[in-house]
Amino acid sequence: VVVVGGQWGDEGKGRIVDLLARKARVVARYSAGNNAGHTIVNDRGEFKLHLVPAGIFYPEKTCVIGNGVAVDPEVLLGEIEGLQAKQIDTSKLVLSDRANVIMPWHRLIDQLDEKQRGDAAIGTTGKGVGPCFTDKVARRGIRVADLLRAEDLVPRIKAVLEYQNRVITGVYGADPIRFDDCFDTYIEYGKRLAPFVGDVQEIVLDAHRRGDHVLLEGAQGSLLDLDHGTYPYVTSSVPSSSSSGAALGVGIGPTDISRVVGVFKSYSTRVGNGPFPTELFDVVADQLRDHGKEFGRGEYGTTTGRPRRIGWLDAVAARYSVRFNGLAALALTRLDVLDSMPTIKICTAYELDGQIIDTLPARESVLNKVRPVYEELPGWQTPTEHVRSFDDLPPQAQAFIKRVEQLLECPVDLISVGPSREQAVIVNPIF
């Protein structure tokens, strides 16, 4: 089962995986890097994970970081230490030897690139993830396996660094990176990561063959997808499950995937730049952003702390995402955040030069021009955070969910009414 973000990221994927992992044997991250930030609130505390799968809180589960992930060793080692300090067992964490590694030049180039883009900056997380995937595709990436032996690492760094230093000095006019600085650091990372390195594909396939559930944890959102997202304001990997994404990222076949669950917020957010048709700039945006702010739970980026842009649910973009992901079920999160709203809007179509359209245009300039057509629904103005069954939801909330199912053409199987593991309404069990 794959769990993907349906919008522009931060839909609550970590929270949903933490809940669903109860019934899985293996939980795997398959894409992206530490541009992701997944918040988990459970009986062990509150955690923000960037690379470690959200199944780590169940000591008996195997958690794997797949070949499709871009790994910053310093971030991963820091995350493991942070978990261990809180008595979370990390002994069943396995890192693919085929995963690409984020090197110092990736972080530097990410930042230099953004500066060079000026007003057209993407608003990346600055973690070097995009340049790492660029190098992977250009076939000059350094992989986890290369960190394990000096005789492999020396020639790899030498070859890549010579090229990258020419780019750094020539294209950007910045200072070159010294070989000794990165070699010493990365060979040391290799030593510390070695106990975690293993054959992820075998682990996943083995569990699958035995009939155990495997949960693939997506990162980012489908509208940030390199192929299907709001290009060029996207990330450099394939967060969606369409074609290559999830199966490729752990080394299984597409037919091994039985179900794809899309996580959607009850409204929309986006962090970073790029088209956002339903974006709000009024007090409603502030109200939604600052819900739970006093507990550090407002709409502020988990990875960068940036305030998230806020808008009403965009059913046009969301339905597009349902279709290209082949979604079988939706998990609708943050329903409780709408509790105090007198009315709730859903964008059901766009107006473009006097015409009504209900598909997502490819061109950025067109996407920036469309105007949302809204349907207004009455709010419920009752707290929902303690509700655990669909029938106990206020009738207006039930009507909102039914309308979301109709517009997105997909059943809502899970509703989240708070950040904690148990704050959920399970309409249909996913496993």
| Residue 272 is a binding residue for Mg ion (CB under 5 A) | no
Q: Could you tell me if 168 and 161 are in contact, meaning their C-beta atoms sit under 8 angstroms apart?
A: no
| Residue 220 is a binding residue for ligand IMO (CB under 6 A) | yes
| Residue 416 is a binding residue for ligand IMO (CB under 6 A) | no
Q: How far apart are CA 121 and CA 7, in angstroms?
A: 20
Question: What's the Cα-to-Cα distance from 420 to each of 36, 43, 87, 380, 416, rounded to whole Å?
Answer: 19, 8, 19, 22, 9
Shortest gap between Cβ of 126 and ligand IMO (angstroms)? 7
| Residue 124 is a binding residue for ligand IMO (CB under 6 A) | yes
Q: What is the phi/psi pair of residue 169, to 5°?
A: -80, -45
The correct pick among 309, 334, 345, 421 for binding ligand GDP (CB under 6 A) is 334
The correct pick among 6, 9, 311, 419 for binding ligand IMO (CB under 6 A) is 9
For ligand IMO, how many residues bind (rule: CB under 6 A)?
23
| Residue 309 is a binding residue for ligand GDP (CB under 6 A) | no
Binding mask 242-281 for ligand IMO (x = CB under 6 A): -----------------------------xx---------
| Residue 53 is a binding residue for ligand IMO (CB under 6 A) | no
Q: Could you tell me if 249 and 68 are in contact, meaning their C-beta atoms sit under 8 angstroms apart?
A: yes
Task: State the Cα angle at 419 between 390 and 399, rounded to 5°.
Answer: 30
| Residue 15 is a binding residue for ligand GDP (CB under 6 A) | yes
| Residue 37 is a binding residue for Mg ion (CB under 5 A) | yes
Q: Which of 67, 82, 101, 428 is nearest to 251 (CA)?
A: 67
| Residue 416 is a binding residue for ligand GDP (CB under 6 A) | yes
Output the six-digit token pair for 135. Answer: 């190098």
| Residue 321 is a binding residue for ligand GDP (CB under 6 A) | no
| Residue 421 is a binding residue for ligand GDP (CB under 6 A) | no
| Residue 340 is a binding residue for ligand IMO (CB under 6 A) | no
Single out the segment in contact with ligand IMO by CB under 6 A; choices: 5-13, 155-163, 360-368, 372-380: 5-13
Q: Which does 378 bind (CB under 5 to 8 A by kind): Mg ion, ligand GDP, ligand IMO, none?
A: none
Task: State the Cα angle at 244 between 206 and 240, rounded to 5°.
Answer: 100
| Residue 418 is a binding residue for ligand GDP (CB under 6 A) | yes
Q: Which does 419 bind (CB under 5 to 8 A by kind): ligand IMO, Mg ion, ligand GDP, none?
A: ligand GDP
Q: How far apart are CA 269 and CA 267, in angstroms?
A: 7
Q: Which of 266, 270, 264, 197 is nearest to 5 (CA)?
A: 264
**Tokens 């530097």 sit on residue:** 108
Q: What is the phi/psi pair of residue 296, to 5°?
A: 70, 25
Single out the segment in contact with ligand IMO by CB under 6 A; choices: 125-133, 255-263, 356-364, 368-376: 125-133
Beta strand pairing call for 26-29 and 62-65: parallel
Single out the segment in contact with ligand IMO by CB under 6 A; choices: 117-125, 169-177, 384-392, 407-415: 117-125
Active site residues: 10, 38
The correct pick among 200, 219, 261, 315 for binding ligand IMO (CB under 6 A) is 219
Q: How far apart are CA 405 and CA 315, in angstroms?
A: 10
| Residue 272 is a binding residue for ligand GDP (CB under 6 A) | no
Runs of H (alpha helix) within 9-148: 13-20, 73-85, 104-117, 129-137
User: Which parts of this chain interact with ligand GDP (CB under 6 A)?
Assistant: 5, 9-15, 37-39, 41, 292, 297, 302, 333-334, 336-337, 416-419
